[in-house]
Chains A and B, each alone.
Chain A
């Protein structure tokens, strides 16, 4: 069973609010990811990190920001939520690709609804 946790699982908020989605893993993985998934659609990478103090933008443009101050923690923040941000956000982690076969471990997801 994967040791990667996301909170909150579900969140309904009003437009303009600042939100932070939390993601923590206890596997000591260097690489962490945030994916966005709309219903019935494929996952899109929005942010990733190779380790502490490393953050990179993914393939899908996003108004969110991330930080990586500790290895185990990779929070995602939206400064001013809008209805277009309504989606499911999935956090994942893996060892760096050159150290291992790169299996991904996913959190349970955070389903965000912005009214």
Chain B
């Protein structure tokens, strides 16, 4: 079983819909990252959080450390939000401290 699980794997939405992507993890972490990967392959860091909630524009990320769960929300979705959204966690122990473990990603397609 992967240490970082995302759901759903694929998501199709209509423009304007509210979108939620979930991430669960099973290891001790120092931080959780949400990343966005566009079809060309480039990856952009959206959020890094270790507690609570962060908001940037139409994007909101939350984390519950006790439940080892995070969600990424997109409000008023737009076709330009179409991308793969990746959850990754930073280990907080061992020699590879700080290195990330990645989920498989959620492929989002927003239709006009």
Give A residues with C-beta under 8 Å from B. Answer: 2, 31, 33, 40-45, 48, 58-59, 88, 90, 92, 94, 96-97, 101-109, 111
Contacts and interface: CB of A to CB of B under 8 A. Distances in A.
A93 B51 CA distance: 23
Contacts of A33: 99
Q: Say what secondary structure dominates the interface of chain A.
A: loop
B59 to A, nearest CB: 15
Contacts of A106: 35, 42-45
B90 A102 contact: yes
Interface string B78-112: 00000000101010000011111011110000000
B99 A43 contact: no
B74 interface: no
Interface residues of B, number: 25
B52 interface: no
Contacts of B13: none
Contacts of A105: 45
A59 B102 CA distance: 12
Nearest to A111: B41
A96 B30 CA distance: 13
30 contacts: A41-B104, A42-B2, A42-B86, A42-B102, A42-B103, A42-B104, A43-B88, A43-B102, A44-B102, A45-B99, A58-B99, A59-B99, A88-B41, A90-B41, A96-B98, A97-B30, A97-B97, A97-B98, A101-B48, A101-B50, A102-B31, A102-B98, A103-B33, A104-B35, A104-B45, A106-B44, A107-B42, A108-B40, A109-B41, A111-B41
A31 B41 contact: no
B99 A48 contact: yes
A103 B90 CA distance: 10
Contacts of B35: 104, 106
A14 B41 CA distance: 23
A108 B97 CA distance: 25
A107 B40 CA distance: 11
A44 B105 CA distance: 13
A83 to B, nearest CB: 20
